[in-house]
Amino acid sequence: MAMNAEAAAIEQDLPPIVVAEEQFDELSSVAERLVDAIPEVGLFLERELDRAKLMPFARMPHDVVTIGSTVSFIFGMTGRAERLKLVWPEGNIADHGLVSLASPVGVALLGMKAGETISWSTRYGDIRSLKVLGVERER
């Protein structure tokens, strides 16, 4: 699949991300399952994991989004503020206030730090973005 110029520019402007070493194998397994079920999300997660810096969970800065983090962020050009908890795909996302790792927004949030912005291309070629405002992690 050819990448258009706008999508190529997004690839170059991606912020650095950090992922907990202890979660990497499970995250990789989720990505593999998603490639079959929701290819664009699975491939997005694989790309993010390929570029992620791994760090022991105990040393992760508290402003980095991990599974279980509650994240305040601005979604898209509308500037709509959101506050959601990132959960594994198996979590009950019918509850308000949760976002699954099996969604583009969930993948975009993973490993991001407060103050960073990320953009990605949807399967239809539309560009989406979000900016992380704050991160609360369970202790």
pLDDT per residue of the chain (139 residues) written in tens, 0 to 9: 444 544 444 455 789 999 999 999 999 999 999 999 999 999 999 999 999 999 999 999 999 999 999 999 998 877 889 999 999 997 566 668 899 999 999 999 999 999 999 999 888 888 899 999 999 987 6
> How far is the C-alpha of 139 from the C-alpha of 131, rounded, in Å?
24
CA distance 22 to 24: 6
For residue 14, the model assigns a pLDDT of 87
* Residues facing residue 74 across a β-bridge: 81, 131
Which residue has 């969604």 as its token pair?
A: 103
Q: Considering the entire predicted model, what is its pTM?
A: 0.86
